Amino acid sequence: MRAGPVKEGSGNVFADLGFPHPEREQLKARLRLQIYRLIKDRGLTQAKAGAMLGIRQPHVSGLMRGQSGNFSAERLMHFLTALGQDVEITVRLASKEHGGVSLVPG
């Protein structure tokens, strides 16, 4: 089977795949990854993590499998604070015509 031509990505896989709100989806994916790492690094069961986050175990399972679509970025940030993390939002002048969203893990 032959692959099509290779194109350089934009840096946002969600934009490359044509998602309607790629910046938001990328932010949610990065937040979910931080939550995943914290849960794994602490050796938390999904039930224990759910108790800490205020959600049921099946929802934690979804998060751990990359299904953050049901949670807003704001809710994911709340989960991070429930896991003892500070979340800092910085607004500054964009270097391009349209601004972007990024996550810098601490």
Tokens of 99: 């601004």
Longest dimension (CA), the chain: 48
CATH number for the segment(s) 20-82: 1.10.260.40
Among left, alpha and beta (phi > 0; psi -120 to 50; other), residue 79 is alpha
Q: What is the pLDDT of residues 61-105, one digit of tens each?
A: 999 998 866 899 999 999 999 999 999 888 888 787 776 666 677
Q: Which of 73, 64, 68, 62 is nearest to 27 (CA)?
A: 73
Question: Which pTM does this prediction carry?
Answer: 0.79
C-alpha torsion angle, residues 32, 34, 36, 38 (rounded to 10): -150
Residue boundaries of the structural domains of the chain: 20-82
